[in-house]
Amino acid sequence: MFETIIDRDRLKEHLYAARWVVVDCRFDLTNELAGRVAYRGSHIWGAVYADLEHDLSGPPLMDHGRHPLPSPQALETLFGRLGIEDSTQVVAYDDAGGSIAARLWWLLRYMGHDKVAVLDGGWQQWIALDFPVTAGEQSNTAAGFHGAPQRHLLHTIDELAGASLLLDSRDPARYRGDHEPIDRVAGHIPGAINRWWKDNLDAEGLFLSADELHLQFTTLFKETPPRRVSVYCGSGVTACHNLLAIKHAGLEMGRLYAGSWSEWCLDPSRPVARHSE
């Protein structure tokens, strides 16, 4: 069972195995159609597609960020449509360092499905060795997915006071408030520390070793238990990459603040910090 990341060679060994589902999560925030177009043009053999905007996000219910969490019922429907059932090993991939695939990884774990991993190095690593690909739309036989929300993995905006530490996953310039290309206000939640999700990767776009990640996160968190950490980003997507890296490091995973900065800054009465604290 793979629960965090999987390398391309191990995926190739299981590519034709029963009860394995591969999900292409490629998405471009600047062009909503680009991911599906890329998928139709070429994707890992047998992979089905999940769209960040339409599948991995939903109407605002528990949060009001740019990518609200889908309802549990919507997630059950989605995972069933993708062919995922209790015994299924899921592998998610993208072409953005795992930053989008990690959202699917977290959503499945949130619904109680732990047999899910992100492809290390993603699409780029797969095609570098001419591993099996195909084109067009593919689908799996619908399955009966039955899950339940694991609320201990989620923080809503009203629950943030229960976090011992806030971890901002955006790039340092956005965290400091030097500029804000997407949301209406620049800065970060007061008291939050910064860990850019890209720092989980090496120069080739592969995850750092579990030992190295363990050292980095325990140093960053100091005396705070990882389970007491609440992680956010701009809209609750790349924050999942940090949660994945924390889990891969062998640490107890903290919580996702799904509304993230895009929800926090909607209310002008909420405090905003700028520059590093």
Report the catalytic residues: 233
Compute the distance between CA of residue 256 and CA of residue 243 in angstroms, rounded to an integer.
8
| Dihedral pair phi/psi, residue 62, rounded to 5° | -90, -20
Distances (CA, A) of 48 to 30, 83, 129: 22, 9, 21
Separation of CA 214 from chain center: 19
> Do residues 127 and 43 touch, judged by C-beta distance below 8 A?
no
Q: Which residues pair with 49 in a beta bridge?
A: 24
> Do residues 123 and 101 touch, judged by C-beta distance below 8 A?
no
Residue 11: name the closest of 149, 120, 171 by CA. Answer: 120
Residue 125: name the closest of 89, 96, 105, 102 by CA. Answer: 96
Distances (CA, A) of 71 to 76, 110, 221: 9, 11, 31
